[in-house]
């Protein structure tokens, strides 16, 4: 069951409280390590297997397209610059690098076009840190597809458990949940693939906590946001590798008096870390049809409905009012984005381009469009208000008022791609092909789609990743 509001937390402990006594009870890391050490393909619910295969297809398409952006190309160049073992593939490139470097670059690529997956509260993206680390680690040990699926599910579960315990306070303190929580998921994914025993998984969690990082100061023209999941993916690889070699980590790193929750939140609920450990964990993963920040998607859906139903003359629009829940109302407010990076974080631009073009795909977020006088005018007449009565954090109600006094209102609580309004398998595959074909060619894209959707039959993940190498340019 999906909760509609973020869970209430408990007031944080301070350093003046009694020191945590690991001997009194099993720490969260120890309880989680016991669960993940015991996971295997046969114990993985069919729902989780299916969810991971869907997300794998989506991730590969997004990462391939993102690898060809400026931020993706720079990340690949950096990953290849230090040399080392040639274990893991740089998606969209033509070579292999050490696993940590591949995880770093691929995480950045997969976050470079704002089409990566999202959790139900729009706090974080599962795949950039977890899938990037898992695929790189799987290649290094030549894992099969079944083992990969277990690692992906374990990593996503770990990431979501940390987020549930820490958010929304983590976000409200300006930490970026994708890398901050993702480093734990990446460590579990890599550790699962490398067969870490229970005690070493505990250490991997501790060492992941020592590397948790990521801030939300990135809503400008720079590439800063694209960078965020890179350290999380690489940090997870590092944590698992160090633990594998015998480096021990702190078992109370999550809930201890100076641990992750205390350091990164004002309010948290440590019990959420270990709720239902004896039950199957439901992974609720949402997908993005529009190339911008997920909390903007509700407004895009409103705009598309008004466009389709009313066919407004854009030049005759007097005002656009977007009511948002207080949870997100003060974010994504930018009437003058200076780059397409900034436009992808701008509610005003995204609404304007959706009204004009009837879509908000990669092509719509361009520097050329930023100079369009019609879009600039629509951005200026768009205002965001706050309505605490809206039912969900990402809910949106839009009113378009015309010069002649007519007005139309639409409200969207669950955007396209959500659990309640899902993208179909056909839509996910069409998205993948649209993103992958220009990079690796139609034939390879089709083979990659088929292989990823039957990945449990794959004897070696390297065979899957070999299909992500960029096609030679046509001469």
Tens digits of pLDDT across the chain (475 residues) = 233 333 323 222 322 222 334 444 699 999 999 999 999 999 999 999 999 999 999 999 999 999 999 999 999 999 999 888 899 999 999 889 999 999 999 999 999 999 999 999 989 999 999 999 999 999 999 999 999 999 999 999 999 999 999 999 999 999 999 999 999 999 999 999 999 999 999 999 999 999 999 999 987 788 999 999 999 999 999 999 999 999 999 999 999 999 999 999 999 999 999 999 999 998 999 999 999 999 999 999 999 999 999 999 999 999 999 999 998 988 899 999 999 889 999 999 999 999 999 999 999 999 899 999 999 999 999 999 999 999 999 999 999 999 999 999 999 999 999 999 999 999 999 999 999 999 999 999 999 999 999 999 999 999 999 999 987 654 3
d(C-alpha 70, C-alpha 471), whole Å: 18
* SS3 state at 279: coil
- Per DSSP, 124 falls in state -
Provide the pairing of β-strand 285-286 with 118-119.
antiparallel
Q: Which residues pair with 412 in a beta bridge?
A: 396
- Per DSSP, 133 falls in state H
Q: Provide CATH code, domain 10-286.
A: 1.10.4100.10
52 is written with which tokens?
A: 């991971």
* SS3 state at 93: coil
Domain regions of the chain by residue span: 10-286, 294-412
Full-model pTM: 0.90
CB 322 within 8 A of CB 347: yes
* SS3 state at 329: coil
> Cα dist. 379→246, 308, 405 in Å?
56, 20, 19
- State the fold for domain 294-412: 60s Ribosomal Protein L30; Chain: A; (3.30.1330)
Provide the pairing of β-strand 96-97 with 88-89.
antiparallel
402 is written with which tokens?
A: 């015309």
d(C-alpha 232, C-alpha 227), whole Å: 10
């Amino acid at each position: 069951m999906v909760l509609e509001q973020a869970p209430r937390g408990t007031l944080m402990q301070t350093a003046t409280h009694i020191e945590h006594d690991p001997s009194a009870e099993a720490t969260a890391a120890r309880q989680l390590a016991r669960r993940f050490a015991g996971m295997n393909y046969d114990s993985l619910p069919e729902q989780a297997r299916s969810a991971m295969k869907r997300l794998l297809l989506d991730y590969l398409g997004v990462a391939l397209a993102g690898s060809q952006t400026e931020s993706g190309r720079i990340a690949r160049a950096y990953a290849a610059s230090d040399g080392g073992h040639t274990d893991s593939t740089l998606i969209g490139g033509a070579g292999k690098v050490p696993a940590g470097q591949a995880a770093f670059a691929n995480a950045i690529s997969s976050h470079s076009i704002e089409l990566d997956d999202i959790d139900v509260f729009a706090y974080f993206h599962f795949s950039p840190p977890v899938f990037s680390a898992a695929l790189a680690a799987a290649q290094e040990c030549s894992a099969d597809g079944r083992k990969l699926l277990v690692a992906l599910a374990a990593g996503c579960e770990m990431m979501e458990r940390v987020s549930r315990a820490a958010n929304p306070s983590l976000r409200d303190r300006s930490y970026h949940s994708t890398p901050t929580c993702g480093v734990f998921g990446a460590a579990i994914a890599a550790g699962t693939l490398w067969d870490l025993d229970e005690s070493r998984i505990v250490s991997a969690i501790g060492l992941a906590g020592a590397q948790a990082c990521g801030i939300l100061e990135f809503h400008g023209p720079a590439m800063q946001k694209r960078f965020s999941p890179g350290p999380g993916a690489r940090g997870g690889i590092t944590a698992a590798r160090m633990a594998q070699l015998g480096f021990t980590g702190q078992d109370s790193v999550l809930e201890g008096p100076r641990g992750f929750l205390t350091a990164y939140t004002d309010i948290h609920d440590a019990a959420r870390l270990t709720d239902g450990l004896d039950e199957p964990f439901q992974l609720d993963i949402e997908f993005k049809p529009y190339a911008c920040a997920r909390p903007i998607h509700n407004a895009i859906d409103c705009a598309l409905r008004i466009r389709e139903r009313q066919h407004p003359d854009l030049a005759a629009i007097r005002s656009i009012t977007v009511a948002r829940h207080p949870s997100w109302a003060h974010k994504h407010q930018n009437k003058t984005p200076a780059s397409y990076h900034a436009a992808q974080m701008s509610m005003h631009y995204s609404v304007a381009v959706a009204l004009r073009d009837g879509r908000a795909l990669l092509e719509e977020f361009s520097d050329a469009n930023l100079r369009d006088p019609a879009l600039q005018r629509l951005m200026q007449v768009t205002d965001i208000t706050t309505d605490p009565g809206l039912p969900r954090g990402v809910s949106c109600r839009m009113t378009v008022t015309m010069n002649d006094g007519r007005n139309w209102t639409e409200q969207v609580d669950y955007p396209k791609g959500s659990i309640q309004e899902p993208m179909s398998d056909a839509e996910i595959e069409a998205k993948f092909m649209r993103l992958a074909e220009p990079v690796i060619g139609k034939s390879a894209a089709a083979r990659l789609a088929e292989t990823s959707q039957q990945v449990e039959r794959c004897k070696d993940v390297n065979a899957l990743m070999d299909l992500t190498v960029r096609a030679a340019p046509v001469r």
